[in-house]
Structure 1
Amino acid sequence: FLNNVIADLLGYSAAEMVGKHYSALVHADDLAKAEIIFKIPDTKAIPPRDAELRLYCKDSELIKYVAVSAIVIALDALDIFKQSMQADEQSFGIFGIIRDITEHKLAEIHLRKLNLAMEHSPNLIFITNPAGTIQYTNQQLTATTGYSQEEVLGQTPHIFSSGDTLQEVYQDLWQTLSAGQVWRGILKNKKKCGDIYLAQQSIAPLVDDAGITTHYVAIQEDVTEASLLNEKLSYQATHDPLTDLINRNEFDRRLERVIMTARDQDSEHALCYMDLDQFKVVNDICSHTAGDELLRQISALLSQVIRRRDTLARLGGDEFAILMEHCSLEQAQRTTQKVHSIIEKFQFQWEGKSFRIGISIGLIVINIHKGGADTHLKHADMACYMAKVAGRNRTHIYREDDAAIAQHQGEMNWLAIINNALDNNQFCLYTQAIVPLTSPEGEHCEILLRMKNDNGTVTAPGAFLPAAERYQLSPKIDRWVIQNTFASFTEQIKRLELLSMCSINLSGPSLNSPNMLAFIEEQLEITGMPADKVCFEITETAAIANLCSATEFITQLKALGCKFSLDDFGSGLSSFAYLKNLPVDFLKIDGFFVKDIEHDQVDLAMVKSINDIGHVMGKKTIAEFVECEPVLQTLMAMKVDYAQGYHTGKPKPINDQY
């Protein structure tokens, strides 16, 4: 028997339930408890039994939590059973009351989960009453602060105060909580042992149905290590690891800010770009370890001469910069003087060796007309370069009308143009005849270089070769000339057969280029160019400046059959002294002397002396700058071997009909 409430509880009607065994309704995990409730014991005199069970509903997987109170009774004691029993029959059953406790049980389970989560949370949690008295703490509080639960309960959160948190932070905290809102922030708290830790804290008010705050829940996370890591990463992102100075990225950011200040406030600031002189000597002689130590010591020295508000940075390598805010040009110059003075007194010691270095400085006034950070640094770098060109260990001030810097900028423009010409094959070759004056021979010419412009014109080498030599591009150009000259002649078989000699100019840097000799040998082999038809021209100045390497270079190529010509001979002060040590085949008499020999007796005597000495030493002579017939006749009378100039033949493209 059961009443109709079962329909509301489980969805079954009373009729459906009659005859069902309890095990069909009870959750499998609760069957053992149910058996104790519903089993009629042999001994009937037992106290009432209680249990909490989970029961399945009829039409779903929904489970109801119920509280069962049951007792063994004699069935004949109830009128409902008495009519169906014999007069002398006695039977026993279970009389019970089932109460639905689902909501209560789910709330209890939820609270148990919350309590478990709080107790095992990796964060410190405590709960206070409205007055701030701590009424609950979790285990993590002890792990974080070192205080036991007993030491904290009844106290206020002031027990964690270090005294280092600003009062304004606490004021904001209470204003936020008083408004019924959640406060979040970082507090500097103190552990029981006295250590300071950073607490990322969230405090929320708990309110009842009437809107009254009953408690405050505080959740803390110890972010000390994370904060220190963030500080370290932030420091590393803005500082140079070797010197601990500001790095290039941070310096650029500060420079942009100062430029904005100059624009907004019409204020004056200055920028110094500095490059150490002779730093490479220390690196090469002692090692990079010594170089690093030198940079650290220099950084410490430079830090002593700048103002507190100035920014000193290492831009990379041995380059430094100083950003001087609200500083006039005169003040900045005084700072550069201090820099030169302290560096001049400095002596670097390493493993018994002593070094003195200098520093070249480019100084620029920051204003709104010079563009952004990149432009300012570029101009300061140019000024530093000019300081080096002027002799190093000095300061050069950038000015818009600076002729030296304008020349440097022009060379930098040529640098891009030259690289573009090399990449896009925009160079072209010309030839100028070297005419024999004593005996006839086949084609003898000098190879000349031109650059093709987009508008169809050509540029003479005097415009771009100085920049190429300054920026170490001349060996690349020389390789291009050699490769294309060999290819041009070997593609014209008949012309090659009639060719007596082609002279190719080599720059001074090519004589010291480690791979140039191998490159020439390779091109001779690849193209099939006869070595005995090739003459390389080197200037007297380049040969004397690199006498040993030039002599070795000449000797090895002459062994292959190549010839050599000494260009501009007579321009050096010691030409004759060096001549006997250079195994060249031709002397090209400097055109400075040749062009005026019909009017100037000294020039005439110089040309005659060079020609005579050259012949005595077994070398043939070539006179340059032959511009008129009288000069040519004079040279022929002297028995100079060859003449070259506009009178004997103007330059023409290499593939023009010979």
Structure 2
Amino acid sequence: MAIGLVGISALIQELQAASTAWIVGQSHWSRSQQQASFALNRYITHGRPRDLAEARQALTVPLGDLDARRALEQDDADLARARRGFLAGDNAPGDINRLILSFRYLGHLGYFKDAVRLWRQTDAPLLQLAGLTGAAQALHSRGEVEPVTQAMLLDQLQALDRDLQARAKAFSMSLQRTASIVRITTLLVGGLSVLLITLVAVMLSRRVRHDLLEQESRFRAAFYQATVGMLKFDQAGGVMEVNQAMADILGYSREALLGLSMQDLVAEGELVLDDAGQIDWSRQLRPAELRFRRADGGLMWGRWSGTLVRTAGREVSVFAIVEDVSQNHALAREVEHHASHDPLTGLINRREIERLLEQALIDVRNHGGVHSLCYIDLDYFKLVNDGLGHAAGDQLLRNFADYLVGSVREGDWVGRLGGDEFALFLAHAAQDEAKQVLQRIVRSLGQANFQHGDGSLRVSCSIGVVEVTREAVDVNWLMSAADSACYAAKEAGRNRVHCYNESRMALDERRQEAERLARVTSAIAENRMLLYAQRIERVGDPGFLHYEVLVRMRSPDGLLQAPGEFMPAVERYGMGMALDRHVLGLLFRHLQVCPAHVQRLGLCNVNVSAQSIAEPSFLAFVCDLLERNRGLARKLCFEVTETAAISSLAQARSFIEAVKARGCQVALDDFGSGLSSFSYLRQLPADMLKIDGVFVRDMDIDPVSRAAVRAITEIGRELHMTVIAEWVESTEVAEQLQVLGVDGLQGYAIERPMALERMTQPALWPGRSALPSEGRPGLP
């Protein structure tokens, strides 16, 4: 009944809107006819061409309405012609359909029929007025018009104008009578609606009482049989009711829980109190994860949500639901550890090193002091790998890591940068003091023997040192300076310590970086940056066309350069945003000329640097690009590296929300090897996780890597994200990833990168054979 009344009300409202549209249209008709008459009067009198143009322009309105009506009066109504006519008649585009429908289906009813009849009576005078316009033009074109002829034309014009105005007034009165009938009908329908709804309300009030009793019995059954914990508290926090699931989660009996309060169940710091020391339920009941006390004294993480229940005549009560998420937190801690530590040596990895350096740099800027950063590189490590095998090399790295950890003071730390490179941080040590400590380490290392099989290995290392002071530019500068000093130590003969000397080494390093930047700038200006693409296979849906866009640089002599040859300089010296803008421009221009490919395309991933995310002007550029290419927006997925997201979390969230609002998707790239955190991951509304290839590449032989992939996949599934694995370089790894539930695969085992022009050819869509290309395996 309610749906029917709503439908009738909607119909009446449409009728009201239609009657209003007709009245407005008649107003336009009458006003334009008068304007045409006035302009034609001036033209007959003075012969000015602009008056003739104004008359004809004004006549397009009534003539357009006339043409629209005749199109609808045909046996086979020409709706397109009718729409064009009504638009020419200056009717609002939103009213065109109402005018057409009301004329076709209501034109034979009552006053509306009379209005249409009166409208038809204006056709002949209107056409005569149009003909009079042509006659006046013909007379003026032949020369000066005789006064007698001019007077005759003016008399004829005035007669037509009076006739049309009289008929227009009659037409308007008929429309107003029709509108009055619609208003009366609306009032009647409204009264009937009130009467019927009142009747329904009386019937429902009797039904509600019965339903409430039935629902309460069902609720009690669900409460006590639910598999998640449920509790009911009084306003003071005392437990009034609890189900068996909650008792099992906390290790209590139901009877024991009924004697406890909220204060007894949660850990210290989890209770939210107001100024009076009472529980502030409005804040306490916000969805969150709280620590609960178990009966054995241990703590349990529970996902908590609840609501206040207010019943007339009764005290306010609280209903809460608790779900045990302790396993999720354990999993998150495991992922965090793997993300910040090197799987081979157990030391912190590069991203954790950079985070700690950032903290140290902030500390010396705020409080003064000095620290030393040491860059350590094993000498001739490649000979160990080549001569004794990678297993011996891995064992040497582990032993050397243990040696460094045992050689530092409390407050210092050691990390692995990658390969045979390590970072050592000496807290509160100036360069001279650090050099003494490091020389002692070098001497002791020369006397140490690292066991391998039945024999032992003697190793040496080259060390570069740079001071961490408030004058340091940033973390990238510190790492670069320490690396340069280490390189100088190797150049000087290895097995020694070299301190960073900016006056000599920094200038040379900056000169080389400037040359690299100049080459990138010229490549952008000369359009020598090329787009490549690597397909991403959707597990279970090989026909889904999905790929990542990669960038290459062609040198002036025609050689193709991989990103590793120019991206470090781009990122270090703040040119990332310029390159990202150029790549996006190239991509959009290419896809705009490939409509068939775009229609077939499922998703296209494109990388965005940390510098771009932190710059509001880049977000404005991207939003403008997406607004002007809305058809491409839903085909794009922006890849944001995990480091970029964490370093500027607020800007990253703003960027993600802005592009998602325009239909794009967002992927977190290189996830797992950086500062991965379950807490920050929930703050970023990303659609996709891309597991760092470091874990994927060796997961078939490394159980730690396989565990990391499994953990990341589980977190992605819990957050309803698509999980994609990079660096899939063998069918064995691909099969294991599918077993773990990964959604997408990317790497040389799936397909090598190829020029984007080739990817957009229909013959090379999913189902084609893989084509060879260049580049390091697994590293786009």
Q: TM-score range by the shorter chain?
A: 0.3 to 0.5
Question: Greater share of helix residues, 1 or 2?
Answer: 2
Q: Of the two structures, which has the highest relative contact order with CA contacts closer than 8 Å and spacing of 6 or more?
A: 2
- Which of structures 1 and 2 has the bigger CA Rg? 1
Question: Greater share of strand residues, 1 or 2?
Answer: 1
| TM-score normalized by the length of structure 2 | 0.37
